[in-house]
Homo-oligomer: A and B are copies of this chain.
Amino acid sequence: MRKNSGKSKIIRKALALQKFSQEQQGKSIGLVPTMGALHKGHLSLIEMSAKQNDITIVSIFVNPAQFGANEDFAKYPRRLQADAKLCEAAGATIIFAPEPKDMYPAPLQTFVKNIELENMYCGAYRPGHFAGVLSVVAKLFNIALPSKAYFGEKDFQQLHLIRKMTFDLNFPVKVIGAKTIREKSGLAMSSRNEYMSASERSDASSIYAGLLEAKKKHRQGEFSAAKLKAIIKKKIESAGGKIQYIEIANKSDLMPVKAKISEKAVILLACYFGKTRLIDHLEL
């Protein structure tokens, strides 16, 4: 339970990391899975893990299995050396940076799938995405053998599905979600924000503004999902954004609110500013 002050070690092979983790008997291991291009959101997870565990493993892997054919796998930012320095400063012990052929030495046949929720919300627009996410997280759990694993709440549906996978399949891992870190404008931090021009980035602050406005209206007594969604839609579209989806879901099971909000709920959305797809959420 100490902040690591030494140099982080980079491990490139899954088998080498698994062996390392198996040898850490009695020490607590925290895992922070990332795709690199680290921002303050990631660093908050690494710092949390470094405080709560003897060893913190940060994985940096742009996972091909979770990208669709027409998505941004090729252009997703990769900068291992810069990321490694950030990991080290935040307290990481190990940086796990495998090559795709080490994570997928043969075509993957075995997938972990949430058959209820994988095709809803983001999954409706990204076929196969969540099967790719759950499968790689299962792999990382089995390779890094953590007692705790840290994920940002920003990918809200992803976090929900990972929690459910961990519960359903009895992984001996405590999944810890951490608050979304936002820029001063309110824009949720994301490695994809750097795809945007300065003006798009400024316009995209309308997302959080819309979410906050809906939350305020809800607190004032508005329980209609349709009306709250319309507030956000108007705000984002006025700023030049294009909505992919806005939904309100029950927080407990992520089932959509059909008409009136009746229990703790969360707004989920995806939209485009220019060619950049952004997601955000807010708990009501």
Contact residues of A with B, CB < 8 Å?
14, 18, 22, 25-26, 106, 108-117, 134-135, 138-139, 142-143, 145, 161, 164-165, 167-172
Contacts and interface: CB of A to CB of B under 8 A. Distances in A.
Contact of A142 (B108, B135, B161, B172): B172
Nearest to A162: B110
A105 to B, nearest CB: 8
A115 B111 contact: yes
A210 to B, nearest CB: 30
B111 A110 contact: no
A66 to B, nearest CB: 15
State the number of copies, please.
2
B169 A142 contact: yes
Given A110-B112, A110-B161, 11 more contacts: A18-B172, A22-B172, A25-B25, A106-B168, A109-B114, A109-B164, A110-B169, A135-B168, A138-B169, A139-B168, A143-B170
Contacts of A112: 110-113, 169
A176 B144 CA distance: 23
Contacts of A111: 112-113, 115
A195 to B, nearest CB: 31
Contacts of A164: 109-110
12 contacts: A14-B170, A109-B117, A110-B114, A110-B115, A110-B168, A110-B169, A111-B113, A112-B113, A135-B168, A139-B169, A139-B170, A145-B172
B25 A165 contact: no
Contacts of A18: 170, 172
Contacts of A115: 109-111
A59 to B, nearest CB: 12
Contacts of A135: 168-169
A169 B137 CA distance: 9
Nearest to A110: B168
Contacts of A169: 110, 112, 135, 138-139, 142
Given A25-B26, A114-B110, A134-B110, A142 B170 contact: yes
Given A26-B25, A113-B111, A115-B109, A142 B168 contact: no
B114 A113 contact: no
A25 B27 CA distance: 12
B110 A113 contact: yes
Nearest to A17: B170
A134 B112 CA distance: 10
Contacts of A168: 106, 108-110, 135, 139
8 closest A-B pairs by CB: A110-B168, A142-B170, A110-B165, A109-B116, A139-B170, A25-B25, A109-B114, A143-B170
